[in-house]
Homo-oligomer: A and B are copies of this chain.
Amino acid sequence: MTPTHTAADLTAVETEMRALLALSNGPLSPLYGMMRYHLGWADTAFAPAASDPGKRLRPQLCLLCCAAAGGDPSVAVPAAAAIELLHNFTLIHDDIQDQSTHRRHRRTVWDIWGAAQAINAGDGMYAVSHLALLRLRERGVPAEQIVGLFGAFDETVLRICEGQFQDIGFESRWDITAADYLQMIGGKTVAIFAFAAHAGATIAAANGERAAHYGNLGTALGRGFQLRDDVLGIWGAAAVTGKPAADDIRRRKKSLPVIMLHERASTADRATLERLYAGDEVPPDGVATVLEMLNAAGVEKECLEIVDGYHANAFGLLSASG
């Protein structure tokens, strides 16, 4: 599969999503306008815009796995669109839950239109993601297979809700181990990568065992992605992440680097960390202190080695998928 092929398919995914959220002029138009704004296609007045749409990694993974498993990725386009819509529905709700005012350099939906309408826009986008998945029928995917994909799709959403439930719970706890963290991201981030890979292979008519193999590939990629994102949230340059440097520290995120630091820190350092994380946000000199402790503990290098391990695992699975 050539890169050109992939680019063309991602355009098809975008077209598919736009068809499902087409502009209407009636009184309901702003509901869909909020969704289009979130996806980067509209400005706050719902006029067309071209903002950073995000990386669209998950639909890409679905199409690539469909092709790798010997299928025609154009058939999988509705599933890829459903996956990206699902991901974005969870982001709209996440931003309310985390009270994040900005995403991808723009104000978040709830920050502009209020939490009540943002809950609504997210619920609506979740409904639309199902309608996207149903469009597989028009591309000739058998009904029986679509029913199976629906089950896996909504099981994935449940895993995401479970991960989000745990993540919110982590805010008030320090007894979190690396294993707890892996379980949490297993729901919050990894499940949708696994579904994307699994669905792509399934649509390519892979048998159950082979589709599960691709699901494992998605799991490895998802873990690597989330942990790399955690590293970027602390050490990434603002130009890359679109957020101030070390923003995850300021926001008191208990990502793996911080959990690792807490586990191995001296009693004094641990007390400092807990004290800095006890307020609403960590002040700039506190962020600097946490960064110094993290760097002294060698956490970044260790995390990047774990990321490399996940990626090696993914590449191994990909070569073994033949």
A: which residues have CB within 8 A of B? 27-28, 30-31, 90, 93, 96-98, 115-117, 119-124, 126-128, 130-131, 134, 137, 142-144, 146-147, 150-151, 153-155, 157-158, 161-162, 164-166, 168-169, 180, 183
List the B residue with the shortest CB-CB distance to A168.
B116
Q: Are the CB atoms of A147 and B137 closer together than 8 Å?
A: yes
Shortest beta-carbon contacts, A-B, top 3:
A97-B116, A124-B161, A127-B157
A134-B147, A134-B151, A147-B147 known; A161 and B31 CB under 8 Å? yes
In terms of DSSP, what is the predominant structure of the interface of chain A? helix
Residue from A30, A123, A128 having most chain B Cβ neighbours under 10 A: A123
User: Out of B137, B147, B165, which one reaches A120, CB within 8 Å?
Assistant: B165
A143-B143, A143-B147 known; A115 and B127 CB under 8 Å? no
List the B residue with the shortest CB-CB distance to A162.
B28
A27-B166, A150-B130 known; A161 and B115 CB under 8 Å? no
User: Out of B28, B115, B131, which one reaches A96, CB within 8 Å?
Assistant: B115
A97-B116, A119-B97, A144-B143 known; A30 and B154 CB under 8 Å? no
